[in-house]
Amino acid sequence: MSEQDEKSQEGAVNSQHQTIMQGGKIEEFADALGRFCRVEGWKKLKDENGESFRTLRHYVEAKPPFGAGYSGKAGMEKIEAYLSLNPRVKDFFQHCHASCLSELAQEEGVSPAVVSKREWDDVKGARLAKIIEANPEEVYIEKAAAYIEDKERVKPAPRPTDEYSPIRMSYRPTHTYSFAQKLKDSVSEEDLGVLIDALKSPDLGDLIEFEKYYNIGLSALNRAKSDSGWGSSSLKAPEEYQGRMPKIKLSKWLDDEQGHSQLSLCDESGQIVTVGMSKAGSVKGLSFS
């Protein structure tokens, strides 16, 4: 590396150091810490005694303006909170911390776990150090390399969970009463009543079709109750409707209007919202009046 490149890198490390010390701006903090760890920036800075920092932990705990100023376990937790939105940098930071412990342990001829417990009262650090000691060529090295090359795939966001958990059970003719008990344990008396009525109804096919549109309307109503509102206009349900929940048994179709179907979602107090639907089954509008 040329003298000019060294000065450029030194300036970059100092800039990253300033951002890490200040904290607060999460995206900028994560980017600075990631770049700092890539070039092992702690080795390029001096502590209060004028010597290079031996480990990432020593830099992190050292008081400003020499180090980052995140002391002890609380400091580690604060850094990981900053990095919670950037798992790539978080993994790489942990890798660098554990690698430093492993190097320090080799110098002293002791276990990385011993060094971790002595240097930093952090269970996660000790666990990582033990893993790297057992398999240093594979554990976290792959993630570190992927981060340096910017090739690691971003994990997809988890799918939203349904408001109600599905009931998973199977029925066998020889276990009728056991099945009935499972139903009683899993379904409210009110819902069981609706279920029994549905089993007896000669119009079960029509009820299934109605249920499909009811759930579409219910989903639109729930979005209208949320902070973001429903539709492109972000329509929000009036305050007096927030605590009301429709029931499928009380809801009904209204007369068609201009070729569109209208579904009235109701509870015991009456109508909550009129849901306008197209023939394709999409919601065209909500009316709380």
pLDDT at 221: 93
Query: pTM of the full predicted structure?
Result: 0.44
The amino acid occupying position 14 is N
Provide the 8-state DSSP code for 64. T
pLDDT at 123: 47
Cα–Cα distance between 87 and 154 in angstroms, integer?
9
Beta bridge partners of 275: 263, 286
pLDDT at 175: 86
Cα–Cα distance between 37 and 43 in angstroms, integer?
10
Cα–Cα distance between 133 and 114 in angstroms, integer?
12
pLDDT at 251: 93
What is the residue-wise DSSP string for 245-272?
---TTT-EEEEEETTEEEEEEEETTEEE
Per-residue pLDDT of the chain (289 residues; tens, 9 = 90+): 566 666 677 888 999 999 998 876 788 888 999 999 888 999 999 988 888 888 888 898 888 899 998 887 778 778 878 887 888 888 888 888 888 877 877 887 877 777 766 665 554 555 555 655 666 555 555 555 555 555 545 555 555 545 555 667 778 888 889 888 888 888 888 888 888 999 999 999 989 989 999 999 998 998 899 888 888 888 999 999 988 999 998 999 887 655 558 899 999 999 999 998 887 778 888 999 7
